[in-house]
Amino acid sequence: MLTAHEKRPATAGLLRRIAINIFAYVDGNPLSFTDPRGLDNPRMGPYGPFWSALNIRKGVPPGSCSCKFGGETFAVPQGTDFNAIHEAGNGHWGDAAEANRRIGQWGTYDLQRDAAINEFTPAYTPASNFSVGVYMHGAGHSLPAMAAIGVGYASKKSGNFNSKQIADWLKWWAMGWTAAEFGMLPVCQQ
C-alpha cells in the first residue's frame, strides 16, 4: 500500500504537466479561449486540426468558382460571398479576437482550411488572402494598418513566414482591400 507521502510527488508532477498543457491548449489565454465541452480546440475549430492527419487537397476542387480582379484569376469555394465577408468586418475595428475568429488560421473566412474535414486546399490560398483584405476593409482598417496587422499576425502564427511569402500575402490582401474600397468585389462564377 502506498502512503500519502509516496503519492504526493507523482500526483503533483502530473498536475503540473496537466496545468501546463491546458494553458498551452488555449494559447496562453484562458480568459479569451474556452472549451466547455472539452472536445474542441478553441484556437483551431472543432476537433482539430490534427496536423498528422491533415488532408492536403491537390488541384482545384470540383464545383469551385473562379473570380477575377486586378488581372488575376483565382479559385474560390462555391458559395463564397465577398460582400458578406466585408459586412462581417463592420463594427469590429480593433477587435483582434473577432478578426482571428473570422480571418485567422482556421477562421470562418480562411477559405483554404476546412476544420470540419481537417483539410487544406492550396488552390484556395489566394482567395483566403483576398478575404483578409476584404474583411479588414469592412472593419475600417486603412491599407497600411491592414498590412502591419497582417504581417504582425503572420510573424507569430505562420509556419512559412519569409520575404517571398510576405510579398504574396501583401499582394492578395491589398487586392481584396482595394476591391472593397472601390466597390468592385468580384462575384464568383462556376
Domain that holds residue 66: 51-181
Is 82 among the domain residues? yes
Which cell numbers in the block locate residue 166? 510576405
Statement: residue 24 has pLDDT above 70: no
Is 186 among the domain residues? no
Q: Answer whether 0.75 is exceeded by the pTM.
A: no
Is 9 among the domain residues? no
| φ, ψ of residue 86 in degrees (nearest 5) | -60, -45
Is 161 among the domain residues? yes
Nearest to 93 by CA among 142, 130, 129: 142
Mean of pLDDT values over 97-103: 90
Nearest to 141 by CA among 102, 178, 187: 178
C-beta atoms surrounding 94 within 10 Å:
11
Top-confidence residue, 94 or 172: 172
**Residues 110-143 pLDDT 10s:** 999 988 888 899 999 999 999 999 999 999 999 9
Is 73 among the domain residues? yes
Is 85 among the domain residues? yes
Is 84 among the domain residues? yes
C-alpha to C-alpha distance for 178 and 174, rounded to whole angstroms: 6
Do 54 and 116 form a contact (C-beta atoms < 8 A)? no
Number of separate domains in the chain: 1
Do 138 and 89 form a contact (C-beta atoms < 8 A)? yes
Is 123 among the domain residues? yes
